[in-house]
Amino acid sequence: MSKKAIVVNFGGQYAHLIARRLREAGLFAVLIQPEELEDALRRDDVVAVVLSGGPKSVLEEEIEINPAILETRVPVLGICYGHQLLAKMLGGRVERGPGEYGNTKVRILEGDPLLDGLDREEVVWMSHGDYVALPPPGFKVLAVSERGYVAVMKSSDRPIYGVQFHPEVSHTAKGRLIFKNFVEKIVGVEPSQRWDPVSQIPRLIEQIRASVGPDEKVLIAVSGGIDSTVTAILISKAIGERAVPIFVNHGLFREGEPEEVLSALRGLGLSVVYVDASERFLSRLEGVDDCEERRRIVGEMFAEVFAETAAKIEGAKWLAQGTLYPDVVESGAVKGADRIKSHHNVAGLPQWLGLKMLEPLKDFYKDEVRAIARALGVPEEFVRRHPFPGPGLAVRIMGRFTREKLEIARKASRIVEEELRRAGLYDDVWQAFAAVGDDKWVGVKGDARTVGHVVVVRIVQSEDAMTADWPQLDKEVLSRISSRITSEVPNVVMVAYAITQKPPATIEPC
């Protein structure tokens, strides 16, 4: 791969967003840990360094990077914690204040290529307690916040910048422009050198062809999601019939989904092996209370079924998965971080399958995979499908897993999606579904009193599933969802709309 930026991850929740913004602006970017910086700077394909934000305070913690960074000639951009770290290391002063959180105004004092196209006053998104009270010697203050803190600073003799706010989050209106300026004007990436995921397709196909031996077959676990679909198409382009996509139906899909997925994949020219193991999965899951336990069971059974199928395919030597870049980073770098839900690890099929691993998309983000999918001719409808968890509806059942609750979640989720499509809102949201637990509500049907389930409708907007918000939908849309669910789904009397953001709540109920 060509020139790249490295993003030093100090544990801020937006480090991935920084890498994505840099890539969108035309510069390939990868995340590294602070201790990897020294080695990374010795490589000549590194053309820029960005220091991320993070939860620590430079007033309390040891500085965690090698000062060698300051000798480098490549442009450096410190963001939030990174900005304060630069200030402290170079002899400026950092202090603790009352903090600035959320939308904040900054005033630009001096023009600079980094800030081209910004107005004298801009609204940016801040989230900090410490601040730079005095820039290091030799630094100019380019912008200040309402409280008078250093919002943007720049070295007078080297391309080193610090910004207190977060240009990577969408609330900073001109954030993308700042990254574009950084990439084009500070790093100097020419239009002909721009990073473009689609241009990587021939290289990806060539790499697959070079790795897989002439008599070897590659099994691909496909789920109907965009990542595994693109993986399967790339491999089948590389080695034709020796690419064997396998679709295991675990019985936890949305209504009609297995049929739709099969016909879509076959329509794309993939000869999919279909394994209906739904009864086997469901009888194992029945009565299991704990959601994490259900995830474990689904993972384990998936591997079992997959292994049985693989054993029947002669020449199978490889296993391909649609692992993406965030999965790779997260599985290696969550040191000390709490594991909220087990899926945040690369699930991976177990080693005992004895197959070599192929993960052609491991350097890419989801939006890049979507671009690749479009270029490969995957229909738009498929590209835009909402993400769906691997263990499917098993994570949308609260409390004990029963087939009755599964059918409720299945049917109600379908209705939520259908109504959003009808209202033209499907593409505006990240996910939309219905979950069900054991709560009951009294209803009246005809003149009779009945008792039925409560269904919770969860509709969220999000950029990367790390944070999420619920949209304020039209009353009419919500009403239709409610009346269809209570009339079409047996044993449901009440529909509730979930109005809690992530955080504190996660997207899926369990």
Tell me the catalytic residues: 80, 166, 168
Residue 337: which residues within 8 A CB-CB, separation 6 or more? none
Shortest Cβ 459–ligand XMP spacing (Å) = 13
Among positions 491-510, residues that touch ligand XMP (CB under 6 A) are 502, 506-508
- C-alpha to C-alpha distance for 110 and 83, rounded to whole angstroms: 18
Q: Which residue, judged by CB position, is nearest to ligand XMP in the bound state?
A: 343
Write the CA distances from 286 to 255, 291, 294, 397, 406, integer angstroms. Answer: 19, 12, 10, 11, 10
Q: Which residue, 197 or 389, is less far from ligand XMP as judged by CB?
A: 389
Residue 121 tokens, joined: 């006053």
Q: Which H/E stretch holds residue 295?
A: helix 291-311
Q: Which residue, 320 or 395, is less far from ligand XMP as judged by CB?
A: 395
Give the DSSP per-residue string, 199-263: GGHHHHHHHHHHHS-TT-EEEEEE-SSHHHHHHHHHHHHHHGGGEEEEEEE-S-SPTTHHHHHHH
277: left (phi over 0), alpha (psi -120 to 50) or beta: alpha
Site track 221-240 with ligand XMP (rule: CB under 6 A), x = hit: --------------------
Site track 398-437 with ligand XMP (rule: CB under 6 A), x = hit: ---------------------------------x------
Q: Per CB under 6 A, which region of 76-84, 96-104, 387-395, 483-491 contacts ligand XMP? A: 387-395
Helix (H, G, I), strand (E, B) or coil at 126: strand
- C-alpha to C-alpha distance for 134 and 114, rounded to whole angstroms: 21
Q: Is 26 in the site for ligand XMP (CB under 6 A)?
A: no
- C-alpha to C-alpha distance for 227 and 365, rounded to whole angstroms: 10
Q: 321-359 burial, b if ≥16 CB within 10 A, otherwise e? A: bbbbbbbbbbeeeeeeeeeeeebeeebbbeeebebeebb
Among 389, 406, 420, 484, binds ligand XMP (CB under 6 A): 389
Q: Is 322 in the site for ligand XMP (CB under 6 A)?
A: no
Q: Which residue, 198 or 334, is less far from ligand XMP as judged by CB?
A: 334
Among 3, 343, 356, 374, binds ligand XMP (CB under 6 A): 343
Among 160, 395, 406, 420, binds ligand XMP (CB under 6 A): 395
Residue 389: CA count within 13 A, CB half-sphere? 25
Q: Is 465 in the site for ligand XMP (CB under 6 A)?
A: yes
Q: Is 176 in the site for ligand XMP (CB under 6 A)?
A: no
Among 174, 296, 341, 374, binds ligand XMP (CB under 6 A): 341
Among 348, 390, 437, 471, binds ligand XMP (CB under 6 A): 390
Relative orientation angle of helices 366-375 and 226-239, to the nearest 10 degrees: 50
Q: Per CB under 6 A, which region of 196-204, 351-359, 389-397, 470-478 contacts ligand XMP? A: 389-397
Among 380, 387, 428, 487, binds ligand XMP (CB under 6 A): 387
Number of residues that bind ligand XMP (CB under 6 A): 15
**Site of interaction with ligand XMP (CB under 6 A):** 295, 340-341, 343, 387, 389-391, 395, 431, 465, 502, 506-508
